Amino acid sequence: MTLGRYGVVPEEGAKPLIRLADLDTLSEPSGTYFDKIKPNGKEGRQATDLQLARDLWNHTSALVGLLASH
């Protein structure tokens, strides 16, 4: 039950992204996952589920009319 709450308002959710985009340089390589402003933050279990990622890709590909990868 969410009690009417579904996370944060867009302005709050955008703050870390705006802060990261505003930095002149980052010490982390491109593609690094950030949890708020912390590099290599904790990832959710589903984020590392390779079978789930494949299934999602294949389902989405089918929905938009692309060939699924093997």
Tens digit of each residue's pLDDT (9 = 90 or more) over 8-63:
888 988 988 888 888 887 788 878 888 878 888 888 889 889 999 999 999 999 99
Domains: count for the chain: 1
Strand residue runs (E) in the chain: 34-35, 38-39
More confident residue, 5 or 42: 42
Classify residue 54: in a domain, yes or no.
Answer: yes
Classify residue 32: in a domain, yes or no.
Answer: yes
**3-state SS assignment for residue 35:** strand
CB 19 within 8 A of CB 11: no
pLDDT at 66 over 80: yes
**Domain containing residue 37:** 10-64
Q: What is the pLDDT of residue 2?
A: 56
Q: What is the pLDDT of residue 68?
A: 56
